[in-house]
Amino acid sequence: MSEAVTADLAAAARRDLPEMLADLRRLVELETPSNDKSLLDAGLDGIEAWLSERLGEPAERTRHDGGAFGDVLEATYPGTTAETVLLVCHYDTVWPRGTLAEWPVGIDGDRFSGPGCFDMKAGIVQGVWALRALREADLPRPTVRLLLNGDEEIGSPASRPYIERASEGVAVTLILEPSREGMVKIQRKGMGLFDVTAHGVESHAGLDPAAGASAIHALAEIVPALTALADPDRGTTVNVGVISGGTGRNVVAGRATCEVDVRIQDPAETARVDAGLTALAATDPRVKIEVAGEWNRPPMNPNPATERMFALIREVAAELGTDLGAIAVGGASDGNLVSALGRPVLDGLGAVGAGPHSRDEHVLVSGTPTQVATVAGLMERIARGGR
């Protein structure tokens, strides 16, 4: 019986593929860069209108003001059983205003391309069509709580509390971020974003060099100390991505800053790295070192509830002829926030494709029906009590 249901869901997804692609075009053509509040607001307005067309009006709807960031939309669509599933998707992208003018949406063979199509507007489309498929087939379905946020690409500063609250008590949170070659992401690294600033003493580099204390020279000493905090065997990496400072070639620099990205897999590493950051000091005592920033996301590591859900989705995928794999990745997502609370979460259930954050970003059209059917099949099993 299950195999027949899954096969029917896949057939429906293949039939509806042209409409899905039209919907994806519609969403991608709503430019929604993370740092452009006016475009984010207009984009979410457009997505809401599309949701109403595809799913009707939700039983509950709340649009939380994101302040300087994108708003957070929560919409609830009742199911036929007592179970609830949370779908989390972000609608912001890394692409600035005007990108569409030079990079329009296009389909070339199996490749659908356009800014933000893979990361992650295809995930929004696929999640909505998975729910539509269950409705149209009159299959058991859980209540679906859909959360759309507009600040994921910059760390979810406004949406984090809403995501954490919405994930409480649900059977599973499904993060419709892009897949990695069709695999589910069950492990992600945690992320810390820090700015290390050296405050020195300015002087004339030719007339009175000894009177100065170079912030740049001090920072050059600090960078090796930063990178030494990495511990690859424990999954900890440190990257100094940007350095800036000084005012002129002939001026002993009074200030210099570097931007640091730290990734960890082991939660215990936060304390060790914090201690290393606190201990940073320049050889010249006249230079003061200041560290600002925070741990943006905790690591996402599998918990027993997640492992049970992964086993369930593997059953669905097997019925579709796929040996679904799991993968660990270095990037972070909103799945980290849910996993850190000990709740079940499956990530990377969105588009099959490649090139996130690059001009090669694309969705593989042929992979879309399988992804939709997999999510729909998982929700159908959960509705039947398959926690």
Compute how many other C-beta atoms are within 10 angstroms of the C-beta atom of residue 235: 18
Range of the domain at 270: 197-297
Six-digit token string for 386: 């398959």
Six-digit token string for 263: 């990734």
Is 92 among the catalytic positions? yes
Q: Which of 92, 119, 151, 347 is catalytic?
A: 92
Query: For the domain that residue 256 is a member of, what is the CATH number?
Result: 3.30.70.360
Residue where a domain stops, chosen among 272, 297, 322: 297
CA gap 311, 346 in Å, rounded:
11
Contact between 199 and 217 (Cβ < 8 Å): no
Strands of the sheet with 84-90, listed across from one edge: 60-64, 72-77, 143-149, 84-90, 172-175, 345-346
119 lies in the same domain as 263 = no
Query: For the domain that residue 126 is a member of, what is the CATH number?
Result: 3.40.630.10
- Residue 314 CB contacts under 8 Å (≥ 6 apart), including other chains: 324
Write down the pLDDT at residue 2: 76
375 lies in the same domain as 226 = no
145 lies in the same domain as 222 = no
34 lies in the same domain as 166 = yes
121 lies in the same domain as 14 = yes
177 lies in the same domain as 225 = no
97 lies in the same domain as 115 = yes
Q: Which of 23, 31, 152, 319 is catalytic?
A: 152
208 lies in the same domain as 275 = yes
13 lies in the same domain as 131 = yes
Write down the pLDDT at residue 385: 86
204 lies in the same domain as 308 = no
Is 152 among the catalytic positions? yes
Residue where a domain stops, chosen among 255, 281, 297: 297
317 lies in the same domain as 356 = yes
Amino acid letter for position 198: A
pLDDT tens for each residue of the chain, 387 residues long:
478 899 999 999 999 999 999 999 999 999 999 999 999 999 999 999 999 999 999 999 999 999 999 999 999 999 999 999 999 999 999 999 999 999 999 999 999 999 999 999 999 999 999 999 999 999 999 999 999 999 999 999 999 999 999 999 999 999 999 999 999 999 999 999 999 999 999 999 999 999 999 999 999 999 999 999 999 999 999 999 999 999 999 999 999 999 999 999 999 999 999 999 999 999 999 999 999 999 999 999 999 999 999 999 999 999 999 999 999 999 999 999 999 999 999 999 999 999 999 999 999 999 999 999 999 999 999 999 865
**CA quadruple 45, 369, 303, 276: dihedral sign:** negative
CA gap 283, 225 in Å, rounded:
12
Write down the pLDDT at residue 1: 45
148 lies in the same domain as 275 = no
Residue where a domain stops, chosen among 271, 297, 323: 297
Domain count within the chain = 2
Phi (first) and psi of residue 297, to 5 degrees: -145, 140
